[in-house]
Amino acid sequence: MNLHSGIIVPRWIDVQGVKNFRDLGGWPTKDGSGYVRERTIFRCAHLGDITPEGIKVLQGLNVKAVFDFRSDPELERYGKLPDEAGIPVINSSMYESHDFNPKNLAATLKNFCSGPAGIAQSYLETLEVGKKSFGNIFHHIIKEFGQDSRNSLIVHCTAGKDRTGLWCMLLLGLCGVDNEVIAREYALTNVGYWLTDEELAFRADYAQLSVDQVKMSCSAP
């Protein structure tokens, strides 16, 4: 917590080649006692397309660890943070490769397209399977981030939306941030993440869904 920061902390950070990169700090606690420490936890989409200039930004932010929630099929398609960045990438996958076959992926996306009940069910399932991965990040923070620490870390998945958003929800909740503010932070992904026509077509074909259904599944509810 930091009493001298605030919601005016610049939320978005331009990291070339990376979508949806933003600071999770600066949000006020609901009791008015302070704010979440800024420039400590960042969230984003995948880092596979980051440019050399983007890597310099991460190094300037003093990023010392990257927690990647993605599974092997996602890594193969989108890549990961290049080794030359010199930042450890910690595999935090919570799904098996078979979870991303067309049948299972289509079922997941259809849940997202079925309204609030379907989305809630998908998120409850993700929280269950992600307990170990989520917990490991909290252990890392407790161990490595003291009161005077100036280091930072990144959490991400492919879009930086669902798995990443759920972990960020837990963190902000533990910091005492109001649920309405947490929902507002989550919805920022509607600004920070988008799919190209090629990506939309690929996902629709792979999951045997329409392009409109894929668009719906990729927006924050």
> Among all chains, which residue has been given the structure tokens 């890549």?
79
What's the chain's Rg over C-alpha atoms?
Answer: 17
The CA distance from 193 to 90, in Å, is: 23
pLDDT tens for each residue of 25-83: 999 999 999 999 999 999 999 999 999 999 999 999 999 999 999 999 889 989 999 99
What is the model's pLDDT at position 1?
Answer: 40
What is the model's pLDDT at position 68?
Answer: 98
Instruction: Read off φ and ψ for residue 156, nearest 5 degrees.
Output: -160, 160
Structure tokens at 148: 């005077």
17: confidence class by pLDDT, cuts 50, 70, 90: very high
6: confidence class by pLDDT, cuts 50, 70, 90: very low
The CA distance from 177 to 125, in Å, is: 23
- Residue 113 vs residue 82, higher pLDDT: 82
DSSP per-residue codes, the chain? --TT--TTS--B---TT-SS-EE---PBPTTSS-BPPSSSEEEES--TT--HHHHHHHHHTTEEEEEE---HHHHHHH----GGG---EEE---S-GGGGSHHHHHHHHHHHTT-HHHHHHHHHHHHHHTHHHHHHHHHHHHHH--TT---EEEEE-SSSSHHHHHHHHHHHHHTT--HHHHHHHHHTHHHH----HHHHHHHHHHHT--HHHHHHHTS--
182: confidence class by pLDDT, cuts 50, 70, 90: very high
**Is residue 220 predicted with pLDDT exceeding 60?**
no
What is the model's pLDDT at position 5?
Answer: 40
- Mean pLDDT of the 103-107 span: 66
**Is residue 120 predicted with pLDDT exceeding 80?**
yes
Q: Read off the pTM.
A: 0.84
**Is residue 199 predicted with pLDDT exceeding 90?**
no
- Residue 192 vs residue 74, higher pLDDT: 74
What is the model's pLDDT at position 2?
Answer: 42
119: confidence class by pLDDT, cuts 50, 70, 90: confident
Choose the CATH number for 22-101+126-193 among 3.30.465.10, 3.90.190.10, 3.40.50.300, 3.20.20.140.
3.90.190.10
